Structure 1
Amino acid sequence: MYPKLTKHIEEILLQKISDERKAMLQPLIDFIKQKKRNQESASVNFICTHNSRRSHLAQIWAQTASAYFKIPDIHCYSGGTETTALFPKVVETLMEAGFHIWKLNNSENPVYAVKYSENALPLIAFSKKYDNIFNPSTGFAAIMTCSQADGDCPFILGAEKRIPVTFEDPKISNATPEQTRIYRERSLQIGAEMFYVFSQINH
């Protein structure tokens, strides 16, 4: 992993996670463990309304955590109930954490390549609906990262398991002096919880 990101991960691993949050994360841990027992790959699709903030943070941190803990055959995706664009502050926050990110085009919904390590395949990040052709169509765990998407989508077609793991939207800080701090805190929380999940897989 990139040195700056490795240093940030040290901070992530020091974060405290409440018993309530651990209980919320347990079904995801169980899903991945079951796939491992069956010697199957595990596909996880993080779903939020706009696929612009929390779902991307969760996807990218989860994929990074699986690599950090050397858990193979983990495929992390993200999607929304509608398409918007990956919010630029999320990209900035992840770059500040140590990810290397390139913008691949300049459309209204830009596509980014995200790397956590020199030799890792890049994650491709852009806003899309959860059932986009880019995402898995069957056998995946649908992780609902916002309460609105959780309420709007009681049924996710093709999902083997549907698990609510909701986070507060950092969007509340937009256009305020607190924006950088709030986005960093949310990224840190999501990163810590995804690292906790993957730390439990081989236990």
Structure 2
Amino acid sequence: MNASVSKTIEQVLLLKSVSENRKKILQPLIDFIQKKVAQKEEVSINFICTHNSRRSHFAQIWAQTAAAHFGIDLVSCYSGGTEETALFPKVVEILANQGLIILKISENHNPVYAVKYDDNALPIIGFSKKYDSPFNPVSGFAAVMTCSQADGGCPFIPGAEARIPITFEDPKSSDNLPEQDEVYHQRSIEIASEMLYVFSMIKR
């Protein structure tokens, strides 16, 4: 883990607590991961939101980072949407400010980013795609619904072993407003806190 990401994680663990209500919401994801770890099986998680542009990417990247931080092996995190748009640039900017190493590897209407929590880590690939994209797993995964629209609009996710609603408020509401940076920062920290809590509960 590079020093900047480690510092962010230390601050999150020290200053940001997870409420009892949210712990109950997160428990099904903990149970899914724990079962896979106990059986020494691969853990695949697909974080799903409407546009796969903001919350689902924050969740994908922080979950993968949290797994590495707590030494939980065989974890692969993905993200997808009910439609394809683009990874919102402010998400990339905020994650970079929080210590993630981000490389833009394609320039088009839907850019592709490589995101690393450590210089030697396998990069997390970030770009907008539908949840059933060939890039994502097709079976045995947990589908984590990160927004109420996707949760309500996708009652069935083909191939999902578990379907788990863990919704977050959309930072998009702050776009083009003076508080945009702070709202995106806080949403990233909130999601980081919850993903760190999830993986801290896993017994190896």
- Match of 2:116? 115
SS at match of 1:175: coil
Secondary structure of the residue that 1:82 maps to in structure 2? Answer: coil
Partner of residue 4, structure 1: 4
Q: 1:19 is aligned with what amino acid?
A: E
2:87 aligned with 1:86: yes
Structure 1 match to 2:139: 138
Structure 1 stretches of 4+ with a deviation exceeding 2 A read none
Using the alignment, how far apart are the partners of 2:139 and 2:148 within structure 1? 23
Q: Which amino acid aligns with 2:8?
A: H
Equivalents in 2 of 1:79, 1:157: separation in Å?
Answer: 13
Which sections of structure 1, spanning at least 5 residues, go unmatched?
Answer: none
SS at match of 1:13: helix
Shift of 1:11: 1.2
> Is the deviation greater in 128-137 or in 4-13?
4-13
Q: Which amino acid aligns with 1:39?
A: K
In 1, Cα distance between equivalents of 2:113 and 2:102: 7
* Amino acid corresponding to residue 176 of structure 1 in structure 2: L
Structure 1 SS opposite 2:48: strand
Residues 3-82 of structure 1 aligned to structure 2 (within 5 Å): 3-14=3-14, 15-82=16-83
Q: Match of 1:154, SS?
A: coil
In 2: Cα distance, 1:84 partner to 1:24 partner: 28
Q: Which residue of 2 aligns with 1:163?
A: 164
> In structure 1, the residue corresponding to 2:37 is in which secondary structure?
helix
Q: Which amino acid aligns with 1:75?
A: S
Question: Residue 32 of structure 2 aligns to which amino acid in structure 1?
Answer: F
Q: CA deviation at 1:43?
A: 0.3
DSSP 3-state at the match of 2:161: strand
Which letter maps to 1:107?
Answer: N
Identity %: 63
Q: Secondary structure at the match of 1:75?
A: strand
Normalised to the residue count of structure 2, the TM-score between the two structures is 0.98
Alignment size in residue pairs: 203
Q: 2:202 aligns to what? A: 201
Letter in 1 for 2:119: E
Summarize deviations over 1:9-34 as a string: whole Å, max 9, x none: 11111211110000000000000010
Shift of 1:127: 0.1
Structure 2 residue matching 1:130: 3-state secondary structure: coil
Q: Deviations over 1:140-167 (max 9, x none)?
A: 0000000000000000000000000000
What are structure 2's unaligned runs of at least 5 residues? none
Report the RMSD for the aligned CA atoms in angstroms. 0.7
Tell me the secondary structure at the aligned position of residue 61 of structure 2.
helix
Structure 2 CA distance for aligned equivalents of residues 64 and 29 of structure 1 = 16
SS of the residue corresponding to residue 47 of structure 1 reads strand
Distance 1:99 1:29 in 2: 24
Distance apart, 1:111 and its partner CA: 0.2
What SS is found at the alignment partner of 2:8? helix
- Using the size of structure 1 for normalisation, the TM-score is 0.99
- For the residues of structure 2 that align with 1:65 and 1:54, how far apart are their CA atoms? 16
